[in-house]
Amino acid sequence: MYRDTRAEVNLGAIRENTAVIRRLMPEGTRLMAVVKGDGYGHGSVESARAAVQGGADQLAVAYLEEALQLRSKGIELPILILTPIHPSEVMLAVRHQLMVTVTHAEWFRQIGSHRDQRCKEKLKVHVKADTGLGRIGLRTREEWDELVPWLQWDFVEVEGFYTHFATSAREDTAFLKKQHGKFLEMKEWCRASGVEVHQYHCAGSNAALRFPELAMDMVRIGAALFGFYPEALVPDIQLRPALSLYSKLIQVKRLRQGECIGYDNSYVASGDEWIGTVPIGYGDGWSQSMQGSEILVEGRRAEVVGKICMDQLMIRLDRKYDTGTEVVLIGSQGEDRITVRELALHAGTVPQEISTLLSGRVERNYAD
């Protein structure tokens, strides 16, 4: 390691969170661990292995490249690719025993010229239904009816039919119930058409934890694997955060009243102050929205002042500290703790964006 900034990932927390969530689900419900976005910034391969140890039955990623990376590292569990792949890549998915998401009949029309007729393996698909999130998925009975003949093709096996909720972290459940009702209606389309679907699933992390009765055949657990969940809405559930982030002071200086720091003179000292510089910035994924957030220095909170630079940021200290003093951006020090949820609230986003934004410049160290 050539720099002071490092992330530490507790694989034991991921494993235990997976096991806890599994126990909360109805008997017979499968658990799909979602490790897209480099495992929400925690490392996809390491996170996948920890989730498997915790009892995950299947895995999910966003893109084909992510799935191929897991396969290259010897991970053999079924893997669903959540974003539709290009029709020309269909045989890659078949040969690596990957499940793909389909949303419309046109995709099937385009794969014909790319299919290897010599291959006897089937293409495993999950049909995505859009019940209100408005992202991807079929929406009408006409779209479904057009899709049915392709799903009955002898080259195709329908592993799943699924949707995703838009408001599962909100206290108000009216829209979630509306989506669920629509999904049940679409489920009847499947049954009426005679298409055999192995697994119906609609609940991601928040919905699964809040409403286990919505588990159906499988739940898709992503953010909660890493300890990100709506704690206030499920106070009886305890999941552990897996990520900590550390750095060190590389310079400490005395600022006089009226002196400025940061681009555009973005901070002006209101009195004589001690300012520390920490080697992390938006080039590491610590965005300028973190200005005004806090960092722990020997268990005391220090505010981030001035605009955050690409490689460094500055904090206002309560006194002079030695260069090399460790600081905590995420995690515990002394009696205090900086959580990812706290940072997300400050930045006006969700915890998983904070962790996923951490760039490859930040070394990940793994502990069990």
Q: Which residues contact 267 (CB under 8 A, 6 or more apart)?
A: 260, 261, 305, 306, 314
Looking at residue 213, its amino acid is E
Q: How far apart are CA 272 and CA 320, in angstroms?
A: 12
Q: How far apart are CA 35 and CA 226, in angstroms?
A: 10
Neighbours of 251 (CB within 10 A): 12
| 36: annotated active-site residue | yes
Binding site residue list for substrate: 135, 310
Q: How far apart are CA 147 and CA 140, in angstroms?
A: 11
Which of 2, 73, 253, 263 is catalytic? The answer is: 263
Contact 307, 266 (CB under 8 A): yes
Binding site residue list: 135, 310
Strands 123-128 and 251-255 turn out to be: unpaired
Tell which residue, 303, 315, 192, has the closest CA to residue 249: 315
Tokens 């994924």 — which residue? 285
**CB-based burial label for 263 (10 Å; 0-12, 13-18, 19+):** exposed
| 177: annotated active-site residue | no
Which of 36, 128, 248, 307 is catalytic? The answer is: 36
Active-site residue list: 36, 263
